[in-house]
Amino acid sequence: MKRTELGWVDLPAEAQQRRSVVAHSALGWPGRTDETVADTAVDPTDVSRETTPPDPEPTDVSRESPAPSADLHPDTEPDPVQVSRETTIRTGAAQASVTGADLDRTRVVSVANQKGGVGKTTTTVNVAAALAQAGSRVLVVDLDPQGNASTALGVAHGLDTAGVYEVLVHDAAFDEVVRPSSSVPGVWCAPSTMDVAGCEIELVGLPDRESRLRSALRRHLGYSDSSDPLEFPASRYDFVLIDCPPSLGLLTINAMTASGEVLIPIQCEYYALEGLTQLMRNVELMRAHLNPGLRVSAIVMTMFDARTRLSSQVAAEVRAHFGELVLNTAVPRSVRISEAPSHGETVMTYDPHSVGALSYREVAVELTRHEVP
């Protein structure tokens, strides 16, 4: 398998090779241990919906799937040193640890970019699902009036549903609005409704308009309002992911005020580059005036198309400017990622064998291990 500086640009088509990739992944295969995956015989019908049965001819390789390298061949024994670095998972009451990350605290992460269509919601729900499949407990706060994150997680968000609008405007408690995902065990969601579209106007006249989400969330997690968001002790969740709207209004400000970290998805196109610089400046303003503990923890490149030179050029420029903030894994364009929400699912459950699902598992691993600057 070819691995570039952008991470898994693509994956092999054969089911056995796909299972081998996941067996080496730090998150493992959903519902199985690495050993089980390695020893399980491949059912020829158990292939990705994204992949047609391959022709035995060795030259007939999918255009989106470069040949695997020797280090990830199905017959290759795993490196014991690498295995020792793998992520251990939390099952039941068992407390586990991840190398390079501290799961004895709750990480509150805003997924933000003022440009629309860059993959904020897609990244939020799929990273949440990947983390939950690894044993973490994840809360998704849907702050986007479109409510797409709620849809992808199978959580009702009609006009008669209590959600984040009631929390922000009417001082409702998160306990009253949080619901479990119907498609991903281990994920809970505070849904968004159409009423959230009016929050920007209604919040203007309310006291503490920039910090209402922070106060409500900290009450829900059991922290004082003065707690350092980078030092939150363990709570009922390991991760809180806040899906922000495509703007820099009061909703996004509330999200960043409540968070310790910002995860920035960036589409591999030129316009996204322009917005990234502006977003970084706004994060600095947030740190100066409202949340000194806020940090940009990671940048993830989405909709990467290895067939175009533009994607590679944008990726290279982002890495040159932001260095280690950029995750190694770039999420490729994938039909299955786009199809999953129409079924009320994330791609992690809709098609766990697909390129998109495997990429988001790698993103989750990197985010878990990534050091907050």
3-state secondary structure the chain: CCCECCECCCCCCCHHHHHHHHHCCCCCCCCCCHHHHHHCCCCCCCCCCCCCCCCCCCCCCCCCCCCCCHHHCCCCCCCHHHHHCCCCCCCCCCCCCECCECCCECEEEEECCCCCCCCHHHHHHHHHHHHHHCCCCEEEEECCCCCHHHHHCCCCCCCCCCCHHHHHHHCCCHHHHCEECCCCCCEEEECCCHHHHHHHHHHHHCCCCCCHHHHHHHHHHCCCCCCCHHHCECCCCCEEEEECCCCCCHHHHHHHHHCCEEEEEEECCHHHHHHHHHHHHHHHHHHHHCCCCCEEEEEEEECECCCCHHHHHHHHHHHHHHHHHECCCCCECCHHHHHHHHHCCCHHHHCCCCHHHHHHHHHHHHHHHCCCC
What are 94-153's pLDDT values in tens digits?
233 333 344 577 899 999 998 888 999 999 999 999 999 999 999 999 999 999 999 999
What are 32-58's pLDDT values in tens digits?
444 443 444 445 444 455 544 444 444
93-98, Cβ contacts within 8 angstroms, sequence gap of 24 or more = 96/135, 98/26, 98/368, 98/369
What are 143-185's pLDDT values in tens digits?
999 999 999 999 988 878 889 999 999 999 999 999 999 889 9
Distance CA 168, CA 154 (A): 22
Distance CA 236, CA 213 (A): 18
The region of weakest confidence among 58-62, 252-256, 359-363 is: 58-62
Whether pTM exceeds 0.75: no
Per DSSP, the chain holds a count of helices (H) and strands (E) of: 15, 7
What are 73-84's pLDDT values in tens digits?
333 333 433 332
Q: Are the beta carbons of 362 and 7 closer than 8 angstroms?
A: yes
Confidence of residue 70 (pLDDT cuts 50, 70, 90): very low
Closest residue by Cα to residue 192 from 153, 154, 161: 161
Strand ranges for 168-305 from DSSP E? 179-180, 187-190, 239-243, 261-267, 295-302
Distance CA 314, CA 185 (A): 36
User: For position 59, what pLDDT does the model report?
Assistant: 42
What are 246-283's pLDDT values in tens digits?
988 899 999 999 999 999 999 888 887 777 888 899 99
Looking at residues 326-348, what average pLDDT do you find? 91
Please report the domains of the chain, with CATH numbers, ordered by start residue: 107-369 (3.40.50.300)
Higher pLDDT, 20 or 236: 236
